[in-house]
Amino acid sequence: KEVISTLKPEADMKHIKLVAALQGSMPDIYIDPDKITQIFTNLIGNSTKFTPEKGKITVKIVNSCDDIICSVADTGIGIAPENMSKLFGQFEQFNRQEGGGIKGTGLGLAISKELVEMHGGKIWVETKLGKGAKFIFNLPKLSSEFIIKEYIDKKITEAMDRGAKISILAISIGDFIENQKIFGKERMREIIRDLEKMAKAALRRESDTVLKHGAEVIVVLLDTREEDAFTVKCRIEDSINEYLRNLEGKIQINMGIATFPDEADTCEVLIDKAKSQVEPVYAGINKRDS
């Protein structure tokens, strides 16, 4: 919806109708929102470029059995058969139709293909020359728990080979179920997303990672001793303190640290250890009480 809103003015200039056919509810799956935004931006922008005035672009998302099916269909000029093999190639520019015409697509489709595959999905196109094109990609329903475990297991193996350390910060909301009743589900989702953003802003190295899992945020600090992880924790605490001072309602954020291999030698034990060593960061104060 955000991408469509951003690209609508461009479509309006050509009097192209940009339609979103989205189901009312979707399951929670683990994705990189910035990367998925980039995919939709590339595909919708591409369709806008190759759709004549007064055409139509339909963005559709379907909840399938094992994955989410996303598509961007246009009523544009379609793609010539001889260009199909070049479609997702890097640095390939070609005319969609036979002969002359507008050239594309540069790196856009190649990047989209790479980003989809990084999520474990595939991208393909259904087209007929002069009858439009429909780009389709799927996103497997991978849980955040699966992704986090897979990622940390991989990093632990790499750290073992190098004799390095990994520190984990676990950030969670105290009395989550009770707070969800007070704040509501959507507001709690916003608070968790805000915690994720604050954690990312506190990092200084590209190698460090922030992963969101349900009501928790997990920060993975590679090649980091516990004392250095504590420095990162203090930066995040400062941001959370400031955030909660302006939050309307009382809430408590907990943070804990654990380090591999000092305190744990597996992913599960490492995360459990971090969760078991949580300390309250700050109890928010209601604005009305202050």
Q: Write the CA distances from 34 to 6, 73, 255, integer angstroms.
A: 14, 22, 26
* Residue 15 burial by Cβ neighbours in a 10 Å radius (0-12, 13-18, 19+): exposed
Three-state DSSP at 192 gives: helix
- Looking at the chain, list the stretches that DSSP marks H as alpha helix, in order from N- to C-terminal side: 2-13, 33-50, 108-118, 144-162, 176-183, 185-202, 226-245, 267-276
Q: Is the pLDDT of residue 290 over 50?
A: no
CA 180 to chain centre: 23
The pLDDT assigned to 88 comes to 83
Classify 130 as helix, strand or coil: coil
- Whether 130 and 77 have beta carbons less than 8 Å apart is answered as yes
Q: Amino acid letter at 181?
A: K
Poorest-pLDDT segment among 56-65, 87-96, 148-157: 87-96
Query: Would strands 133-140 and 67-74 be described as parallel, antiparallel, or unpaired?
Result: antiparallel
Q: What are the beta bridge partners of residue 218?
A: 170, 211
Task: Return d(Cα 157, Cα 266) in angstroms, integer.
Answer: 9
Q: What is the residue-averaged pLDDT of the chain?
A: 86
What is the predicted pLDDT for the residue at 90?
63
**pLDDT above 60: residue 48:** yes
Which helix (H) or strand (E) element contains residue 212?
strand 209-213
Q: How far apart are CA 184 and CA 91, in angstroms?
A: 48
39 vs 248, higher pLDDT: 39
d(CA 57, CA 79): 16
- Token look-up 């802003």 returns 201
pLDDT at 280 over 90: no
At CA 274, angle to CA 188 and CA 177, rounded to 5? 25
Over the stretch 223-249, which tens digit does the pLDDT of each residue have? 999 899 999 999 999 999 999 888 877
Read off φ and ψ for residue 256, nearest 5 degrees.
-140, 155
